[in-house]
Amino acid sequence: MSNEKAQTTSSSSNNVQFVELAQYELPKAIESKKDDWVVFGENDCWFNEITDLYYNSTTNNAIINNIVKLMFGKGLKARDARLRPNMYARMKSIIPDSVVKKIVTDYKVYGNFAIQVLYKAGEIYRCEHLPVQLVRAQKCNSKGIVENYYYSDNWADTKKFEPKLYPSFDSDKKSEIKILYSGHYSVGQKYYSNVDYFGALPYCKMEWEISEYLINEVQNSFSPTTIVNYNNGVPSEDEQALRAKKTVQTLTGSKGKKVIVSFNDNETLKTTIDSVPLNDAPEHYRYLSEEAMRKIMLGHNVTSPLLFGVATTTGFSSNADELKNSYILYDNMAVKPLQETIIEAIDKVLAEAGVVMDLCFEQLQPLTAAGELTTEQTQMSAHQTTDSFLAEGLISKGESEIDGYDLVHVSDVSYDNEDEFDSLIEKANSKQSLLSKLIPSFAKRKSKQDNPIFLTRYRYVGEVSENSREFCIKMRTADKLYRKEDIIAMDSVAVNAGWGANGADTYSIWLYKGGGGCHHAWQRETYRRKGTDINNPLAQTVSPSQQRKEGYIAPTNDKKVYQRPVDMPNNGFLK
């Protein structure tokens, strides 16, 4: 931590005083003799100092904010949510994304995070975020275990804001509130964790000081504005300091104008000013600012400044090339380890609540602008010689959910039936109803199988096991909805390499799913816009009884075209 106690030296010949500041030191957890809690840093200042550096260092603030976005992504999800919908719903009710995002922010800013676990009738029913800077550990027991934690709204005034004691989540004590305190292992620390960008803190401080200095220079010009001479002798050092302090307080305001206070034996010996100009001052401060920014990025393990909007000149052929490689490296080396620590803590809470899910953070796709690469395509490029990219091209086209629509019908895909289904849609679209004119967003529909009221999507269905192909596992784990056009477009893209005719990389995913012997199929789902129920030809897909009333009888599905490849002749393989 920054030790800003002034060490003063003086010379009797010229009465010049120097102020020296100590450098950053590793913060220490201090066990007080009078208090039961453990403070972090001298005078318990560490969390406040980290907060100041977060707000006052431009580069540090921007990087942390963007890393938090990458860590949280699109929220905490479960890979097996589709297979365990009730358990997934309970998980979301226990720890909603609004709480998770605050936890993610605390962890990146402070290197620690705290979760308030709430109990009702002895069972966990909800988790809440607890500002980690307001939590202190109790002194550990003889086994080195922290049994309780203290919480106070203001640790600078514990008499007014008395700390309250709560049991640790790992404690066997029964309580309506427990605190789960977590972070990563830090060398030399017992109670708390260091921030993962500790090495960049001096440069965060330097950037802050440079900005304040330059602002002050602009506001107060670049030279002292006042010299106050005392020509009646040189008093003692203590008296000099006292007079100087009172003089400055009297003559300066909130802007902090520069004043020189000089003590002289007589007027003929009064102080003179010799300017010491800094040559190339703009270049000097530009260098310091750039060096501070570079070291702060290094402290945060930033693989490329371009990830955070800072243009660079590199050996890459384009910015897209740099982003593609840098993002993969940064995600694997910096983002995922932080995510795993949070997931591990949340897993502990959910396990006690009887909820066991395969948790993950759904990733953002920062490279989705026109001409850029998506996250999935980036991963494919980096691993194109392995199986790890299988299905990613198709998955990137999928939708997790469809806002504003209700699922009204589910059926197996019959390829003989698809042409008739498309004709129903065409008939519905040709009917210019008043409602279709009132829905301008329909002009931007994504599929030819959509109309002003209904959307049609397809889901990859079937059970998976440890023996399932990677393509099928990925498709079932993603559990997304796809347009028919996207699935057919994969005929010319290697999304499941090696399962085509004679080992070809491409084949019809629409017809043969995961290839010969595959146990999966496509399921058609029809969605209706919320709040609509009109007489529409496509409504025949909603209800079998409604179909009969309208005189429409669905064709019998041909088993050969919608059955799983494993149920086809030769298990779906060529002879």
Exposure string of 467-483, with b = 16+ CB inside 10 Å and e = fewer, is: ebbebbbbbbbbbbbbb
534 and 410 in a single domain? The answer is yes
253 and 181 in a single domain? The answer is no
Assign 513 to helix, strand or coil: coil
Under the banding of pLDDT at 50, 70 and 90, the label for residue 24 is: low
Report d(CA 186, CA 102) in Å as an integer.
22
Q: Is residue 293 assigned to a domain?
A: no
Length of the chain in residues, anyone? 575
> Lowest mean pLDDT: which of 16-30, 148-162, 224-238, 514-528?
16-30
Strands 112-120 and 17-20: unpaired
Q: Is residue 88 assigned to a domain?
A: no
What pLDDT score was predicted for residue 21? 40
Share of the chain above pLDDT 70, in %: 68
- Domain end marker among 217, 246, 272: 272
41 and 120 in a single domain? The answer is yes
545 and 452 in a single domain? The answer is yes
Q: Is residue 292 assigned to a domain?
A: no
- A 10 A CB-CB count for 214 gives 13
Does residue 75 carry a pLDDT above 90?
yes
249 and 135 in a single domain? The answer is no
* pLDDT per position as a tens digit, 193-238: 999 999 999 999 999 988 887 887 777 655 555 666 766 677 888 8
Contact present, 142 and 194 (Cβ < 8 Å): no
260 and 405 in a single domain? The answer is no
Under the banding of pLDDT at 50, 70 and 90, the label for residue 110 is: very high
| Number of independent structural domains in the chain | 3
Does residue 260 carry a pLDDT above 90?
no
Q: Is residue 87 assigned to a domain?
A: no
Contact present, 481 and 523 (Cβ < 8 Å): no
Main-chain dihedrals φ then ψ at residue 260, nearest 5 degrees: -105, 125
What pLDDT score was predicted for residue 448? 72
What pLDDT score was predicted for residue 385? 31
Report d(CA 478, CA 78) in Å as an integer.
10
Which residues constitute the domain of residue 548?
386-572
Q: Is residue 491 assigned to a domain?
A: yes
451 and 519 in a single domain? The answer is yes
Average pLDDT over residues 134-160: 93
Exposure string of 294-314, with b = 16+ CB inside 10 Å and e = fewer, is: bbbbebbbbbbbbbeeeeeee
Q: Is residue 283 assigned to a domain?
A: no
Average pLDDT over residues 272-293: 71
255 and 401 in a single domain? The answer is no
Q: Is residue 346 assigned to a domain?
A: no
- Domain end marker among 235, 251, 272: 272
164 and 256 in a single domain? The answer is no
pTM of the model: 0.56
> Which residues is 411 bridged to in the sheet?
524
499 and 456 in a single domain? The answer is yes
Under the banding of pLDDT at 50, 70 and 90, the label for residue 168 is: very high
Average pLDDT over residues 399-419: 74
- Domain end marker among 216, 241, 272: 272
Q: Is residue 184 assigned to a domain?
A: yes
268 and 185 in a single domain? The answer is no
The beta strand positions in 56-203, using DSSP E, are 76-78, 112-120, 123-130, 135-138, 148-151, 164-167, 177-183
Does residue 393 carry a pLDDT above 80?
no
433 and 552 in a single domain? The answer is yes
Indicate the angle between helix axes 58-72 and 97-110, nearest 10 degrees.
140
